[in-house]
Amino acid sequence: MITDLQMDISAVNNMTYEEFMSKFGNVVERCSLCAAAVWDERPYEDVVHFSQSIAKIIDDLPVSAKKGLLRHIPDLAGRMAQSGGLSKESTYEQKSAGLLNMSDEERMKINSLNEKYKRKFGFPFVICARKNKKDTILEALEKRLKNCCEQEINTVYEMDISAVNSMSYEEFISKFGNVVEHCSLCAAAVWREHPFNDVAQLSRHIAKFIDDLPLSGKEGILRLHPDLAGRIAQSGGLTKESTNEQKSAGLNDMTDDERMKMNRMNEQYKQKFGFPFVICARQNKKAAILEGLERRLNNSAEQEAITGANEVKKICDLRLRDIVDPTSSKL
């Protein structure tokens, strides 16, 4: 909404606090605190600087506060929309997506999904209505119901690529240092390539860095990954990213027989290749992972280093898209 600002940035910088709050108090729905918190950041260089100041305030909030912000957002096509109780901003946004012109069947479906979502996560479903239409919103709502709570928080608060491009090196490494498990070198290596056009370009730069590594480097990256459903997972020692990924594949909910089979094959794999088995858990379920592990035990070490590195790239791409809005572009 800030990027739609029609007035000159100098006019914003010259506003009194009261004028500023009157104009920008609802850029984050029903949370004037966000505007109040960036008042001291003036003067802004431009609207991007202004927007990034608010984005940083939100990024720095604890998870509980981020959930609180989400609870201020009205349901899409919900009772408030039907009764005309939305803010003028939300009215415009929901109208632009066609949410105020739904059939009875569509409205029943979105209301049912909204309730399921709130019961699961404790806050309403949020998506940028101005970048979507009702069909894609319904599709996204169904899809995101499969996320865990942390994944959903990450999805809602994805940053814009312009915010990535404005990061200092230290901020960049802090944010992206684990998109390749325990290997901040991958993020450090692509820092010099910014500004990035979008998250896809950022992902391609990291993928190229991995591709260009010698075989020993690829093997090194694989050795930084934990065993799937292994001792680290059982003891709660995984990174938050790996925890969510293994959970999404059902690896935290294995029978004793499945776990014994997985552990046995993991050991066979490491003894043969010298690094752990890596597969993109978010694109597979436990049965497919067990099958893949058994099948890939027949490969050569070179084949597995390359296959494993390709899986790392898939994992990295998904982690990047958890952080950066894939629809945002600097162009």
- The CATH number covering residue 218 comes to 1.10.3330.10
Confidence grade of residue 4 (pLDDT, cut at 50, 70, 90): low
Decide if 174 is inside a domain.
yes
Decide if 112 is inside a domain.
yes
Decide if 126 is inside a domain.
yes
pLDDT at res. 331 = 54
Co-location of 229 and 314 in the same domain: yes
Co-location of 180 and 302 in the same domain: yes
Active-site entry in 49, 194, 205, 225: 225
* Structure token pair of residue 162: 């312009």
Q: Choose the weakest-confidence range: 26-35, 113-122, 143-152, 255-264.
A: 143-152
Decide if 251 is inside a domain.
yes
25 CA to centre of own chain? 26
Co-location of 173 and 311 in the same domain: yes
Question: What is the rounded average pLDDT of the residues 280-289?
Answer: 96
Confidence grade of residue 282 (pLDDT, cut at 50, 70, 90): very high
pTM for the model stands at: 0.74
Co-location of 111 and 242 in the same domain: no
C-alpha separations of 152 from 6, 128, 143, 149, 155 in Å: 32, 14, 11, 5, 5
Co-location of 204 and 97 in the same domain: no
Co-location of 301 and 331 in the same domain: yes
Question: What is the rounded average pLDDT of the residues 121-140?
Answer: 94
Decide if 70 is inside a domain.
no
Last residue of a domain, one of 156, 176, 201: 156
Co-location of 106 and 130 in the same domain: yes
Confidence grade of residue 293 (pLDDT, cut at 50, 70, 90): very high
- Residue 225 designated active-site: yes
Last residue of a domain, one of 102, 125, 156: 156
For 299-322, the pLDDT digits (tens) are 999 999 999 999 999 999 999 999
Co-location of 94 and 190 in the same domain: no
Range of the domain at 27: 2-60
Q: Choose the weakest-confidence range: 11-20, 85-94, 157-166, 289-298.
A: 157-166
Number of domains within the chain: 3
For 50-60, the pLDDT digits (tens) are 988 998 899 88
Q: Choose the weakest-confidence range: 151-160, 203-212, 283-292, 314-323.
A: 151-160
Co-location of 183 and 111 in the same domain: no
Question: What is the rounded average pLDDT of the residues 189-213?
Answer: 97
Decide if 67 is inside a domain.
no
Decide if 65 is inside a domain.
no
Last residue of a domain, one of 137, 156, 175: 156
pLDDT at res. 59 = 85
Co-location of 213 and 313 in the same domain: yes
How many of the other CB atoms lie within 10 Å of CB of 159?
A: 19
Co-location of 79 and 217 in the same domain: no
Co-location of 56 and 84 in the same domain: no
Decide if 232 is inside a domain.
yes
